[in-house]
Structure 1
Amino acid sequence: MRTVDPAKHQARRRHILGAAATLFAEKGYERTTTAELCKAAGMSAGALFHYFPNKRAIFLAVLEDDGDGKAERLARARSADDPWQALLDLVDFLAAPAAEPLVPQLVMEAMVQAYRDADIEALLSRGNAEERATIEALLAKAAAAGRIDPGLEPGPTATWVLALIASLYTSAATTPDFDPAEQLSTLRLILRRFLRAQARPGDASPASARGAD
């Protein structure tokens, strides 16, 4: 009986997902063919489908991939001692991939496919719900600690925080001269002023946030 090496199997899957993510971002899900996936991954169709049953399964796996450790980062943020700093760090973490090549296009393609596929829509909704719940919890803790405006309701405020993060991805995908990396400091400044973090000894004031970031 042939023994499967789990590490090699996982490495092969990740190789396929990396090649597929590039194609899906550049060509779109519908226009990417199985032959192109095989060529990009450097394997036959039989070998490719040993790891994934079909193209749709590959696309779902690309979207589910937690190679950046998002689940762990969300858990760490929820348990942080300083909810305000944890919120700023989490925003940086969620926004940073917008500056990576092809990621904004892949995000846009996922949104398009979500209108056509209930499983993709459910996957994206689940991910958004986890992010939103964490941000809401951090906002509530930060308000209770006097770090942000206590008059802001966590739910609607979390919606706006996520909308600002999402705008980096959509702008990067649709505006050729938009540089998400350059705009990240502006996003931080907007959030600091919107949330009106109250200064404590050692904290940067909103007025000096641009320099601090």
Structure 2
Amino acid sequence: MNEAFIWDLDGTLLDSYDAILLGLEETYQQFDVPFHREEIKVFILRYSVKELLVQLSQAEQIPLETLNTVRAHSLREKNAHIQLMEGAREILEWGHQTGIKQFVYTHKGDNAFAILDELGISKYFVEVLTGDSGFARKPHPEAIVYLVEKYDLSQETTYYIGDRLLDAETAQAAGIKSLNLTVASSANNTHIESLLAIKEVVG
């Protein structure tokens, strides 16, 4: 098989949004800032936690470095709350058994490596790129282009698998296909109802 999967993590392979929101809520509370959970969830799904904290820093005149430090400490304590999405381990094993090269590109920081190790899925990935790897953030295609070029992947048979519009936009910018858990099907993207549905698309 020539296919390659580049995986997003939060909301795609990792059932982690509750842990992320809990960590953010604690951060907001530490600085006595009201926390509107649903509004914040919508924001981070569309943009990112990094952008949320940038805006919070500006609005509340709190140094961004301070916010990031508090949030990172809280999030490390929440690692145990993070579980695999339904079907994640099975589809990763299926990809491994069928010879699909698998990678990760996530905005999550290097904390991701510890989580992947703890969940026992690090072995499935040829390379993992995080928000700390130095690439331009989504939807800029720099990180995906790097993987395509480094590993000589075919744009026609490489899929970026995610759960947000931002992920579909990143795939399109990189000239590869997209599989997405929430975005409707289009010329470049295929909507999937579950991770196991991936077998029907590329199997």
TM-score by length of 2: 0.31
- Which of the two has greater strand per residue? 2
- Which of the two has greater helix per residue? 1
Greater relative CO (CA pairs within 8 A, separation 6+):
2
Task: Find the structure with the greater CA-based Rg.
Answer: 1
